[in-house]
Amino acid sequence: MRTPFQQENTVTKILKSVVLAATVATATGCSVSPTAQHELACVGGSLTGAVIGGAIGNRFGGGTGQTLATAAGAAAGGITAASAMNC
């Protein structure tokens, strides 16, 4: 069983990786059309929202309940981010 510090450290690493991936995807999209840039931003934003939502959902429940809360949080975060960005 992980301690709260180890669990938070893992979540922090995942969030850093997602933010880096979204930044790289956005930066590489600078030379393409505005439509393609918007699509890249939508993907990056949706993934970031899903990871943050999953991290929040992971804080609740235990066992199968925690897994379901993580999945629900990830889905809600991704959908919320996508709708906020007009994707």
Q: Which domain holds residue 81?
A: 35-87
Answer for the pair 1, 8: CB distance below 8 angstroms, yes or no.
no
State residue 52's pLDDT score.
Answer: 93
State residue 9's pLDDT score.
Answer: 67
Residue range 40-71, pLDDT digits in tens: 888 889 999 999 999 999 998 888 898 999 99
Q: Is residue 81 part of a domain?
A: yes
Residue range 4-16, pLDDT digits in tens: 555 556 667 777 7
Residue 60: both structure tokens together: 């609740």
State residue 80's pLDDT score.
Answer: 93
Q: Is residue 72 part of a domain?
A: yes
Residue 83: both structure tokens together: 């709708």
Alpha carbons within 13 angstroms on the beta-carbon side of residue 54 total 18
Answer for the pair 41, 28: CB distance below 8 angstroms, yes or no.
no
Q: Is residue 11 part of a domain?
A: no
State residue 55's pLDDT score.
Answer: 92
Q: Is residue 25 part of a domain?
A: no
Considering its fold, how many domains does the chain have in total?
Answer: 1
